[in-house]
Structure 1
Amino acid sequence: MYRFLTPATIYYGIGALETSCDKLPSIDNKPLIVTDKIMTDIGYVDRLVNNLKKQHVEISLFNEVDTEPIDQYVEKGTHIFNENHCDFLVALGGGSPIDTAKAISLMASNPGEVQNYMGFGKVKQEGPPIVAIPTTAGTGSEVTQFTIITDTKNNVKMLIGSEYLIPQIAIDDPALTLSVPQNITAATGINALTHSIEDYISRRHQPLADIFDLSSIRRITKYLRRAWANGDDEEARSEMMLAALEAGIAFNNSSVTIVHGMSRPLGALFHVSHGISNAVLLPTCLEYAIMGIPERFVMVAEAMGANTIGLSPLESAKEGVKLIKQLCVDVEIPNIFGLGIDKNDFMQSLDKMASDALANGSPNNTARKPSKEEIIKIYEKSF
């Protein structure tokens, strides 16, 4: 038997921010907006606040989230939430504000520190409701039961999973992504592709998720280059947001694998954003992973446009990896060295990164389960 989880409501389309805000007071009437300085500077916070004020709600603001969600943001945001007697959260931004809002919801109703909840099944009390409004097309966090928070004391990205973290409302307005710069468009787009591909070839894949995965892969293959080349292309932006949404719905119910498992330690130790850390590892990880499940990777290759007639499953899978590599080249995804990471520092961190990758569990969902030594080799090859 399969079980399939989604948010209670998804609003999708150009202008969804303005047209759906009247639904939010039905949740409660004292929201804490969780966002970042960029959203404030470009006027998106004012747009949200103005729309919420029409509904006569009492608003509090926490706009100090940076590029990656960390435990200190969660602690401060929870304090503001409790001090102002807020009763629900509205997350506006990329994956960082959304993941931070999820963790604030968790900590508003559960004791201890956020570190106590790393893993699955540890959250005992449902927190205040969450409304998630993504402004990038990548993480899919607006529809998932996961949050990733960096433990700054131990330099570890903590994966926390609980059904209580699924937002009650997701507002996916592609117009909010028109201002996203080219490099972020590339990183978030490849991040969404990573979700779809990993989920489809995961040991935990399931039929309903497969439908969303393959649809997402087709959209990203067709529209990412367009969105990257012309940020004002509304059709491409809309299709990319839909692709990221599809990918999020899918992996919320199946699982990511080796790429995410390896990207979390890279991001935590070298302060690389989640999207970029996935993107730089994707091609090399898939070269390793396809050997374990080439027959399912045939469908990935075909969804990306590969001609697999007359090819064996493994040959077809390799054609798919070639197309992924070319897409990464076309949208200027660097290798790890291109991120400016010092080679000596990187090499000295290999043992910890490999250990942390295995400890977070995601590599075990890979059809070809990697050893610590194999993970180290993949890191080295990706550099």
Structure 2
Amino acid sequence: MKENFDFLMPSVNFFGAGVIKKIGDRAKMLNMTNPLVVTDKFLESVDNGPVAQTLDSLKNAGVKYTIYNGVEPNPKVHNIQAAKKVYLDNNCDGIITVGGGSAHDTGKGTGIILTNGDDITKLAGIETLENALPPLMAVNTTAGTGSELTRHCVITNTETHLKFVVVSWRNIPLVSFNDPMLMLDVPKKLTAATGMDTFVQLIEPYVSTNRNEITDAQCLEGIKLVETSLREAYANGHDVDARTKMVEAEMLGGMAFNNADLGYVHAMAHQLGGQYDAPHGVCCAILLPIVEKYNIVSNPERFAQLAVAMGEDTTGLSTRDAAELSIKAMRQMCDDVGIPRSIKAIGAKPEDFELMAGNALKDGNAFSNPRKGTKEEIVKLFQEAYDAE
């Protein structure tokens, strides 16, 4: 446990029904006169959807705007380069992201190359940014990646099929907005994928080597919220209480991993996403029980505590047996929300495992994993995830 640590999060975080109406006023406070609204074509097309409500708030505040709607899943280098061109061509002076993790990462990536050099691949790593980004606000529409709260920017290099991370306090949005009412119509598959990403982002920081007392408390409370709301939100997307609890859990997970970091689940999931352009949350979910079973030996007591947080009865069990119940609970959650068991489902190929294993160990999330693995061990974990039934 760290004796000394910093704790990073946006300076202002709006939460609850209707907070999206505050966007225009906050844009004015940040002296935005023509922000670039970064989103995707689908969200832009939804009548009275998140983008429409964002634009209405800006109009009501008398703030002009320019739209970039080229966000893709697993945002690519060419996406942020295109957004940068729109920003410069229209003399924009701030960025507002509307969407899930892909929109937020695209907005962050755009800000990075606007102020820190055009080649973002050279900036991969931790605290590599020398210059501040343009003013950045994030309107979140999924519960979710936590990207609206964090210092992480994940981009895919399509030439190398490699996902890389730029981690810097300069990436943290100045203001975040989490309105559960924007999430009621999120499809079941996306609810499952983003919800499982939240689940992973509460589990990995709890066993991370960079954890602290504050992140521990966030993780345990967030896990309890997921246990009592993800299945319900998946079964009925218009369950407002379940959606609200999932947003609370997502925010807790974002704050926790922003400060305690993650582990091999994310390091390996980034390789699957980069290689096969697969949904990030699904990749994380498939890997979760396999990687954490591998990690148990590093600290069985921690995993026993996770089992209790997940609602398992550990009365009378040894620490190791109680720890094993946490893996059972992770697997059950995946099954209940329709996550496939094998990475075959996202197109994984065994001939790629060695390359992906080597890259996973270089990923910025690998260094805080509680068990230090070899390339051969990571290959075996990919193979286990491939063979799972």
**1:33 is matched with which residue?**
37
Aligned positions of 1:34-113 closer than 5 A: 34-43=38-47, 44=49, 45-113=51-119
**1:353 is matched with which residue?**
356
Q: Give the deviation of 1:104 after TM superposition.
A: 0.8
1:108·1:127 contact (CA, 8 Å) conserved in 2? yes
1:11·1:20 contact (CA, 8 Å) conserved in 2? no
CA distance in 1, matches of 2:129, 2:342: 35
**2:203 is matched with which residue?**
197
Residues 162-190 of structure 1, C-alpha deviation per residue, up to 9 Å, x if partnerless? 11100000000011111110011111111
Partner of residue 3 from structure 1, selected from 6, 10, 13: 6
**2:234 is matched with which residue?**
228
Q: Give the deviation of 1:336 after TM superposition.
A: 3.1
CA distance in 1, matches of 2:140, 2:282: 17
CA distance in 1, matches of 2:15, 2:278: 29
**2:129 is matched with which residue?**
123
Q: Secondary structure at the match of 1:268?
A: helix
Change (3 A) 1:328 1:202: same
**1:18 is matched with which residue?**
21
What amino acid is aligned across from residue 168 of structure 2 in structure 1?
S
1:10·1:171 contact (CA, 8 Å) conserved in 2? yes
Q: Secondary structure at the match of 1:142?
A: coil
**2:319 is matched with which residue?**
313
- 1:330 equivalent in alignment to 2:336: yes
2:278·2:346 contact (CA, 8 Å) conserved in 1? no
Q: Give the deviation of 1:14 after TM superposition.
A: 1.2
Q: Secondary structure at the match of 1:64?
A: coil
- 1:376 equivalent in alignment to 2:382: no
Residues 196-245 of structure 1, C-alpha deviation per residue, up to 9 Å, x if partnerless? 10000001111111111111100001100000000000000010011001
5+ unaligned residues in a row in structure 1: which ranges? none
CA distance in 2, matches of 1:29, 1:297: 50
Q: Give the deviation of 1:340 after TM superposition.
A: 4.8
Q: Give the deviation of 1:291 after TM superposition.
A: 1.5
Partner of residue 139 from structure 1, selected from 136, 145, 159: 145
What amino acid is aligned across from residue 269 of structure 2 in structure 1?
S
Q: Give the deviation of 1:337 after TM superposition.
A: 4.5
What amino acid is aligned across from residue 90 of structure 1 in structure 2?
I
- 1:301 equivalent in alignment to 2:304: no
CA distance in 1, matches of 2:84, 2:142: 24
2:143·2:195 contact (CA, 8 Å) conserved in 1? yes
2:14·2:176 contact (CA, 8 Å) conserved in 1? yes
Q: Give the deviation of 1:296 after TM superposition.
A: 1.2
Q: Give the deviation of 1:338 after TM superposition.
A: 5.2
**1:182 is matched with which residue?**
188
5+ unaligned residues in a row in structure 2: which ranges? none
Residues 20-47 of structure 1, C-alpha deviation per residue, up to 9 Å, x if partnerless? 4322211122110000011112232222
Change (3 A) 1:20 1:32: closer
2:34·2:92 contact (CA, 8 Å) conserved in 1? yes
2:24·2:59 contact (CA, 8 Å) conserved in 1? no
**1:363 is matched with which residue?**
366
- 1:268 equivalent in alignment to 2:271: no
Q: Secondary structure at the match of 1:231?
A: coil
Q: Secondary structure at the match of 1:252?
A: helix
CA distance in 2, matches of 1:114, 1:337: 29
Q: Secondary structure at the match of 1:349?
A: helix
CA distance in 1, matches of 2:106, 2:196: 22
1:137·1:189 contact (CA, 8 Å) conserved in 2? yes
Give the TM-score, by structure 1 length: 0.97
CA distance in 1, matches of 2:71, 2:58: 21
- How many pairs align? 380
2:154·2:164 contact (CA, 8 Å) conserved in 1? yes
Moved over 3 A (4+): none
